Structure 1
Amino acid sequence: MTEAAVLFLRGCLALLALPIHLLWLLGVWEPFCKKIFFPFCLEKLSSIHEKKTKKHKQELFRNLPDFKGPSGELNLLEIGTGFGANFQFYPPGCKITCTDINPNFQQGLLKNMNKNQHVHYERFLVAAGEDLRQVPSGSVDAVICTLVLCSVRSVNGTLREVLRVLRPGGAFYFLEHVAADRSSWKYFWQQVYYPTWKLIFDGCCLTREIGKNLEQANFSELKLQHVSVTLPWTPIQPHVLGYAVK
């Protein structure tokens, strides 16, 4: 009965979003989404999400200075930088390499760079999380990834790249929305929204159990916490946050 209800409601939602599905079939939606629609939505949603997660991020990034390299510098790599919402939480003097698969974020990114002069910006790379070949192995002290693993092609592939670019003893910081408990109504609605949500929001997957991916990766230490972040009219309330040490 539940599976049938999910399929029925998915169909109803697909009908409501029929114009978008048609544009996708015609090859029009994806470039429009990446260039205009998704950057616009991300900017609006990010402002709400930042208010809800500010205290979580302050606590999460508090020990970033502990992972300075042997030279005394802190070299950061951020995967899926977007508009640079995390810059305000980084310690003064750190060096950051920004990456994103979508080059259309760069204009908004520059605004946040100007607001956060305490951080030294190294470069911006157009790169997917699963392919960071432009970053040398063992070259960074910490990798940051927030609200990105939901949309990468491969979570495990991205984590392998994270481990490759981190120096021994370096850390991976994360804050990601995840699937709700499978027996809950929240998970039911995540299943309903999933296909249309993924199409509209540039590949964002609602039902990934990212905590399990992190537990199975080859980190020497994992600090993981489950938190609830309520965002109006969205099915992305459950989150995991923490850091893992190579």
Structure 2
Amino acid sequence: MTEASILFLRACLALLAMPIYLLSFLGIWEPFCKKIFFPFFLEKLSVIHERNSKKQKQELFRNLLNFRSPSGELKLLEIGTGCGPNFQFYPPGCKVTCTDINPNFQQGLSRSMNKNQHIHYESFLIAAGEDLHQVPSGSVDAVVCTLVLCSVRDVNGTLKEVLRVLRPGGAFFFLEHVAADRSSWRYFWQQVCFPTWKLVFDGCCLTREIWKNLEQANFSDLNVQHTRVVLPWTPIEPHIVGYAVK
């Protein structure tokens, strides 16, 4: 399909979402999205995503214990914790520091923490992935990031911070939706939906090739697998999953 087709369909989608564009122009949508809509939407989406990605997450986080410190302790930092859907997969006794740029997930996060008493919660930091200055360099054994790199302002800057806070030999665990194959219809629809999707879903970008950022970062070892997580009626089925060692 041609660029003109993409632009035409983008315009049609923008017309359907015109009330949201108007609210954004008036400066109303962003605070409403961050405070009410996105926390509600993300908690509901997490239920579906966790059900459909459970196998991948169980396999991925099974490797966490391989990166315990020499003392046997596992200190874990999660970027973009949201409502805490990953807590159920963390090993008993690990010490978790939660971070998120949006402080409005407290209700969902509290429910998840109450359900997962097998881990120790150290603190919650309001912080962007690109700026984790509250976390000392080399202080954590593992960093976890799921469905977050799609919406950070700077993927490379976030990965730089991941490397900084990890101790030598520590690992970065990720599960992210990514751009589809450029020759596919799914990629075409990702391009069509991109502007409106990004506006509605708090900066989420559909066409990031995050595996390329990981390949260019200074990890000593990278284990990445392309996979699919079926999410009906959404363009975010293609995912990557894996871990990278500092």
Aligned residue runs from structure 1 range 2-81, under 5 A:
2-81=2-81
The one-letter code matched in structure 2 to 1:147 is L
State the shift of 1:94 in Å: 0.2
Structure 2: 5+ residue stretches without partners: none
1:16-73 deviations in Å (ceiling 9; x for gaps): 0001001001000000000001111111111000000001000000011110112210
Percent identity of equivalent pairs: 81
The one-letter code matched in structure 2 to 1:240 is I
Cα distance in structure 2, aligned partners of 1:80 and 1:62: 20
3-state SS of paired residue (2:42):
helix
Cα distance in structure 1, aligned partners of 2:120 and 2:194: 38
1:71-128 deviations in Å (ceiling 9; x for gaps): 2100000000000000000000000000000000122111111110100000000000
Partner residue in 1 for 2:147: 147
Aligned residues: 246
Is 1:158 matched with 2:145? Answer: no
1:116-153 deviations in Å (ceiling 9; x for gaps): 01000000000000000000000000000000000000
Aligned residue runs from structure 1 range 180-199, under 5 A:
180-199=180-199
Cα distance in structure 2, aligned partners of 1:112 and 1:135: 23
State the shift of 1:2 in Å: 1.3
3-state SS of paired residue (1:156):
helix
RMSD value, Cα: 0.6
Aligned residue runs from structure 1 range 72-221, under 5 A:
72-221=72-221
Cα distance in structure 1, aligned partners of 2:81 and 2:140: 16
State the shift of 1:8 in Å: 0.2
Cα distance in structure 1, aligned partners of 2:89 and 2:18: 41
State the shift of 1:230 in Å: 1.3
The one-letter code matched in structure 1 to 2:8 is F
State the shift of 1:186 in Å: 0.4
1:158-207 deviations in Å (ceiling 9; x for gaps): 00000000000000000000000111100000000000000000000000
Moved over 3 A (4+): none
